Structure formats: C-alpha cells, structure tokens
Structure 1
Amino acid sequence: MPSFDIVSEIDGHEITNAIDQANKEVSTRFDFKGSNAQFEQQEDSVILKAESTFQLQQMLPILFAKMGKRGIDINSLESGKIQDTGKTAQQTITLKQGISSELAKKIVKLIKDKKMKVQAAINGDKVRVTGKKRDDLQEVIQMLRTEELEQPLQFNNFRD
C-alpha cells in the first residue's frame, strides 16, 4: 500500500549558513560598527547577543531574511524574551523541529474530518499516512498545504 510521512524538519547545514551570512552582514553594517553584536548557534537554538535591546530588534529581521533566502520557514522559529543586563542584551530563538503530539492529533483529525480514503497514524514525531491509491495520498498533501498550521510540514518517504 502506498504511504508517506508528514514531518517537520529543518536542515542544520542551511541554519549554519544563514547564521554565518547574518554574522557577516552585522559585522559590515555601519550601525553595528564597534559593537559586539553577533549570532551564536547552539543545538536547537540561535542566541542573539548585542549591547542594547534596540540592536537586538535590528538583528532579528536580518536573521529572518537570511533564513528565508536559505529556504527555512520562519514559522519554525520561536522568539524568546529579551534579557537585558544593562551592559549586554540577548535573545534566544528556538528552532522547532518534529511534530508535537497536539499538532499530530490535529493533523489526524483534519484527515478524518475530510473523510478521505486514507489512514493516518502517529509515529513519534511524525505522522504516517497510508492509502490504497496514490491519488488519495496526493489529495491529503494538497489539503494539508492549504491548511494554516502553526508549523511548516514536509512530506517525505513516499512509497508505492
């Protein structure tokens, strides 16, 4: 039976490239001359460091633009609160990967509500959809692309 997986993943290499480009732009911009403003990558987050909250607010659109150019959906980023210590300010941007159980249940419910001839099952941080016909699976993909969900979805592991 044909099947595919619904996942939410971010390419780590593209994240690294986007952060490097953003750091390069911040180091060359006139309004950041002489400041220690920088982007720092950790496992599943990006830390913005600057001398003031105003500079942090100027850095965020730079990061979003660079990630957008690299094909990373901005909806997969979650901004944290700005922590200002007086001398420095920093903000953590969390990278959302994997489908949460609430979102997985919502996806399964959407598929069942449309009464499509497929079965959806939650497998950890992904949802597997199986059906008798390839066309039914493609209908599910089209339906999910039109839905406004809080996280970007990718469809992979398509098997006949």
Structure 2
Amino acid sequence: MPSFDIVSEVDLSEAENAIQNVTREISTRYDFKGSKSSVEMKDGVITIFADDDLKLRQMHEILQGNMQKRGIEPGSLDYQKEEPAAGQSVRQRVLIKQGIDKELGKKIVKAIKGGKFKVQAAIQGDSLRITGKKRDDLQEVIAFVKGMKLEQPMQYQNFRD
C-alpha cells in the first residue's frame, strides 16, 4: 500500500554554515564597522546580539538571505521577543522549527479528511504518515497540502509504493 511522510525538518549543519556566512559578512560590511554585533547558534537556537534596533533589522535580512542560500526557508525561523542587553544593545533569540507540532498536525489531518481524499492520515510523533491505495491519491494530497499556505515549510519524504 503506497504511503509517504509529511515532515518539517531543517538541516542544522546547513544552518551552522549560514551562521558562519553571516558572521563573515558582518565583519566585512562597512555599516557594521566598530559594532559589537554578532550571531551564534547552540542546540538549534540562534542568538543575535546587536548594538541597536536598526542593526538588528539589518541582521535579520542578512540571516534570512544566507539561510535561503543554504536551502532553509524563512518560515522555519521563529523570532522570539527582543530583550534589552547591556547599554543600548539588544538580544534576540531565533528558534529553528523542527517537526510538526500537535496543533498543526491536527489541522493538516482535519483538512485532508475534509477534502474527501481516499487516504488515511495518521500523526506519528512529529511527522504525519499518509497512506492510500493509489499513487495518484497521494499525489493529490501532496498538491493539496502545498496549496494550504502553511506558515511552516513542509517536506514530503519516504514515498513508497
């Protein structure tokens, strides 16, 4: 019986490479000359240190650009609330979304069942398993989920006949 998995994963080694590119770009840019702005990543959490709000916004653009170059979509970055740091500087944490949480999983399963597709959808931890009798039904579900405009990027893996 054909099946596939819907997952939402980010390659953390690619994210680490993007962070290194951001650090390199900040060190060479003229508008960051003499600035104490920096970016670091630990355990899937990116921490941005900036001198002020303007530099923080610029670092967001640099980060998103470098992440996209590495194949990581901006929807997989979850920006947390800005925190004041020493003096005028600000700090912001950015979480990298890994996996599909229960609420989003339930929403996708409900939409698939409401679409009257001839498939079964099951939540398996932080992924969804879609099973059907025909390959065409599964391909219709993939097109349907892509058209749902979810805030988190999805990947379709493990397609089996």
Q: What band does the TM-score fall into relative to the shorter chain?
A: over 0.9
Instruction: State how 1:76-87 maps to structure 2 within 5 Å.
Output: 76-85=76-85, 86-87=87-88
Contact 2:48 2:92 in 1 (8 A): yes
Identity of aligned residues (%): 52
Bigger CA drift: 121-130 or 42-51?
42-51
| Contiguous gaps of at least 5 residues in structure 2 | none
In structure 1, what residue type is equivalent to 2:3? S
Take 2:105 and 2:25, find their aligned partners in 1: how far apart are those partners? 38
Contact 1:6 1:154 in 2 (8 A): yes
**If the length of structure 2 is used for normalisation, what is the TM-score?**
0.95
Aligned to 1:140: 141
Contact 2:78 2:95 in 1 (8 A): yes
Q: Secondary structure at the match of 2:10?
A: coil
Aligned to 2:21: 21
Aligned to 2:95: 94
1:87 CA drift (Å): 4.7
Instruction: State how 1:145-156 maps to structure 2 within 5 Å.
Output: 145-156=146-157
In structure 2, what residue type is equivalent to 1:36? K
Take 1:50 and 1:150, find their aligned partners in 2: how far apart are those partners? 27
Aligned to 1:54: 54
Aligned to 1:126: 127
**If the length of structure 1 is used for normalisation, what is the TM-score?**
0.96
Contact 1:14 1:70 in 2 (8 A): yes
Take 1:155 and 1:45, find their aligned partners in 2: how far apart are those partners? 24
1:84 CA drift (Å): 1.6
Aligned to 1:112: 113
Aligned to 1:7: 7
Bigger CA drift: 46-55 or 17-26?
46-55
| Contiguous gaps of at least 5 residues in structure 1 | none
Take 1:78 and 1:155, find their aligned partners in 2: how far apart are those partners? 21
